[in-house]
Structure formats: C-alpha cells, structure tokens
Chains A and B, each alone.
Chain A
Amino acid sequence: MKNGFVLIGIIAGLIVGGVALYIASYLWLLPYFHNQNLKEFSEQLVIIPPPAKTQEIDKLNQIGQQSGNGDHCDYLSALLLKTDIPKPEVEKYYSDNYKGKSRLYFFWINEPHKPGIGNVNPTNIFTLDEWVNNKSKTTGANLIIYIFEGAMTSAIDYRCG
C-alpha cells in the first residue's frame, strides 16, 4: 500500500514537473533563446548606417507569427527610410555593405504592388502593415529594407501561436 502511494506521488510529481517545465518554456525559456537569435539576426541589417540624404524614420526587430496562418515563428528585422537618393544607388549601397546570410528585401512603398494574400499589405508581413498603410504617409517614408526568415517551427514560444 505504501509503495502504491509512493508511486502515485512520483507520477504526480512528474506530471506537475512536466507541466511546470512546459509553462516555463512557453513563457520564458524558449522566448529567451529566440530573443538571443533575434539579436544576432537583426544585427545583420541594423549595423549598416544610412547613406547620405537618407533618414531612418523607424526600425523594428520582431519575432512571432507575422505572416500566414498556423503555428510558426517568423523573424523580422526592418528599417523604414525616407531617402532622396535614386533607387539603384540606395539598393547598391545596402547590398554592398550587407554581410548577412538572410535575403535582403527592398520594398519601395510608392511603387505599384499586387495586394497581399488575405487582404494584407503586399509584403504579406503583418508587422509591416502600420508602416505601409499609415506611417509612410504621415512621414513621407518611401522605402522599407528588411530581412525575413519565416515559417520556422514555433517551438512552444507564446509569440508564435
């Protein structure tokens, strides 16, 4: 009988421990590791100073579900710029100075674009909605430069649901 209680106690302890570990991973542990990765990821882009005649209006580095549907983590690092330099020169400047491995995207806000999937902005990245739809209009910003690694396994991070 006593052994039975000990066994039940061990099983209950394992269940409680497992649930506690799950919650800790969901809220803190995995987000912590993701944040470390995000820092390294964003440094690929944000270390490049803006060229002449170019003003950095805003920047963001974010992890979470930022496109499509379902459970996945997307890493995004983006710069909102207002530039008076011709398009080929800006793109050459950033391409020449970019040493990262992720693909570098240039999104010229005032150029014609096909609408995004699901009635979102043409980049299909929700996080950029505010810049594309609002902030670019109030500030005169005309370019978003970003790197995006999308649809990676969510790894029980609460931001990637």
Chain B
Amino acid sequence: MITDPQSLNSYSYAGNNPITQSDPTGKFWWKEFYTDWNGYNGISGLEMKAGEVLGGRFAAQDAIAANSGNIANSSAQTGVSPSVYQAIMYEENSHQLPPFGGERAIENAFPGLPSGGVGVMQVSSKTSGGLSNRMLLNDKTNVSVAGSILQEIQSTHGSNLATMGAYYNSGALGPTNAHAASYGQRVNSYANTNLSPTLGDRVVRTTASNMTNMLSSLSPALTSLGSVIKSISK
C-alpha cells in the first residue's frame, strides 16, 4: 500500500523542485551549474563555473587547508583577517578545470606565462615589485605578497570584503568596474558561506578518487602486459 503517493514522483526528494531546493541524495549535484552563477559571465564565466562544479571547489578547500599556517602568519603581520585570505584563495582556486592541479602543473612547467601562482593566490609577477612567477609559485611567498597587497587595499579603501575583492582584482578600477565588482561580490559571498564540501563536491571527489584508484590498479596489469609483449617480440 502506498502511504505517500508523492513518493512516486521522481523529483519529490527535492520538494518537487530539483532546481531550487536542496538535493540531499546528490543525484542532481550538477544543477548548480545552471542555478548558481555567482557573478560569472561570458565564455570565461562558463569555463570558470564548469571548473567549480566539476570539482575545483575541493582543490580550493585543499589549498586553504594546506596554507592555514601561511595565512595565519601573514594575517598576524598585515592585520587583514584570515577570512579575507581564505575567501580570495577560494575564488582563485575553485574554478580550475580538471585535471585538478593541472593549471599549477602548467605554471610550474612554463613560469613565463602571463599569470602566476594560480595554485595558491593568483598574483601576477608584475603586481609584486619584481618577484618572478617562479617565486610566486612558492606558497609562503605567494600568500605573503598577496597579504601585503590586501593590507594596502584595506588601509586605503576599508575592510568591506566586496570592495577589497574588487580592488584586488582590478588594481585601481575597483567596484566601479563590472568585472571587478562581480569578483568582489563572489569573494564576499565565499566569506559568508560555509566553505566546507557540499554533497556535490563529495560526489565529484569520490568519483575522481575511484577513477584514480582504478587507473592505479590497472597499472600493474599494463606493466605485465608490456612485459608479455616485449617477450613475444623477442
């Protein structure tokens, strides 16, 4: 006997509205791709959002966790709240496309590219008074340099995070520039949001982990196959 006819509705688990309601099963974790743009726009916005939804968020969470000491040390020197560092670090890292860490690998291989330090905080070599991109790939240096920039912005423009983010992004244009204002709004929203992994993040992370494990388990088999082929060819 069906006591709850509504359970026959395949969307009932999300209150009949899988687009706007929470998704406790994780079946529709990708819905965020079209329901929460959070200031992204244009082709690059599509790219950035894809990176975020496809797992960039856990790369960002890892970066924040790995840099907690660097952030605490820099924050103690600059007077800028650690939450500001974390929010900007989250923004800079959360939209990397898979394979995760790929952008960091590219930065390491080609440090002369226009941008620098994608893996931690994106601080172009040109913003940092002569520091090279390779130096900015050092997490401690990168966070420290970014901290000095944030300190300067905070002392000039105040501690409103949306405003700080806009100046951090644009240099001097600040929130009057639409792109920089969107960046500032995103940073502000990250500071006011729980950055712990969502169910969608866990689904992506588990899938990626399973794929990695699967490839690892195939590795000995492929090695054996290679040996067999070698021996046959002899």
Whose C-beta in chain B lies nearest to the C-beta of A148? B173
Considering only residues 40-75 of chain A, those with a C-beta below 8 Å from chain B are 64-72
Bound form: Cα–Cα A154–B122 in Å: 14
Bound form: Cα–Cα A154–B44 in Å: 6
Residue among A124, A151, A156 with the most chain B CB within 10 A? A151
User: Could you tell me if A71 and B127 are in contact, using CB atoms closer than 8 angstroms?
Assistant: no
User: Could you tell me if B152 and A126 are in contact, using CB atoms closer than 8 angstroms?
Assistant: no
B105 within 8 A of A: no
A138-161 vs B: 1/0 string, CB under 8 Å? Answer: 000000000000111111101111
The contact of A71 among B115, B152, B153, by CB within 8 Å, is B115
| Contact A150 to B171, CB < 8 A, known contacts A69-B122, A70-B92, A118-B127 | yes
The contact of B124 among A25, A126, A151, by CB within 8 Å, is A126
Q: Which of B30-38, B177-185, B197-205 contacts A (4 or more CB under 8 A)?
A: B177-185
Distance in Å from the Cβ of A131 to the closest Cβ of chain B?
13
Bound form: Cα–Cα A127–B41 in Å: 26
User: Could you tell me if A65 and B179 are in contact, using CB atoms closer than 8 angstroms?
Assistant: no
Distance in Å from the Cβ of A132 to the closest Cβ of chain B?
13
A25-39 vs B: 1/0 string, CB under 8 Å? Answer: 100001000000000
Report chain A residues within 8 Å CB of B122. 69-71
Report chain A residues within 8 Å CB of B178. 151
Whose C-beta in chain A lies nearest to the C-beta of B129? A119
Bound form: Cα–Cα A67–B170 in Å: 6
B151-167 vs A: 1/0 string, CB under 8 Å? Answer: 01100100000000001
User: Could you tell me if B153 and A69 are in contact, using CB atoms closer than 8 angstroms?
Assistant: no
B47 within 8 A of A: yes
Report chain A residues within 8 Å CB of B180. 68, 72, 151
User: Could you tell me if A129 and B123 are in contact, using CB atoms closer than 8 angstroms?
Assistant: no
Bound form: Cα–Cα A136–B16 in Å: 67
- Interface size on A, as a range, is 20 to 34
Report chain A residues within 8 Å CB of B179. 72, 151-153
Report chain A residues within 8 Å CB of B168. 68-70
Bound form: Cα–Cα A161–B136 in Å: 15
The contact of B114 among A117, A119, A160, by CB within 8 Å, is A160
Whose C-beta in chain A lies nearest to the C-beta of B91? A70
Bound form: Cα–Cα A127–B17 in Å: 50
User: Could you tell me if A155 and B44 are in contact, using CB atoms closer than 8 angstroms?
Assistant: yes
User: Could you tell me if A68 and B171 are in contact, using CB atoms closer than 8 angstroms?
Assistant: yes
A116 within 8 A of B: yes
Distance in Å from the Cβ of B234 to the closest Cβ of chain A?
33
B126 within 8 A of A: yes
A104 within 8 A of B: no
Ordered by A's residue number, 24 sampled pairs between the chains whose C-beta atoms are within 8 Å are: A65-B115, A67-B171, A68-B173, A69-B124, A69-B168, A69-B169, A70-B122, A70-B169, A70-B183, A72-B180, A117-B149, A117-B156, A117-B167, A118-B148, A118-B152, A120-B129, A123-B172, A124-B172, A129-B126, A150-B171, A151-B169, A151-B180, A155-B43, A158-B114
The interface of chain A, by Cβ under 8 A from chain B, is 25, 30, 64-72, 116-120, 123-127, 129, 150-156, 158-161
- 19 further A-B contacts with Cβ under 8 Å, apart from A116-B172, A117-B171, A118-B128, are A65-B115, A66-B126, A68-B170, A69-B149, A69-B168, A70-B92, A71-B122, A72-B179, A117-B153, A117-B156, A118-B149, A118-B171, A119-B127, A120-B171, A151-B173, A151-B177, A153-B44, A156-B47, A161-B118
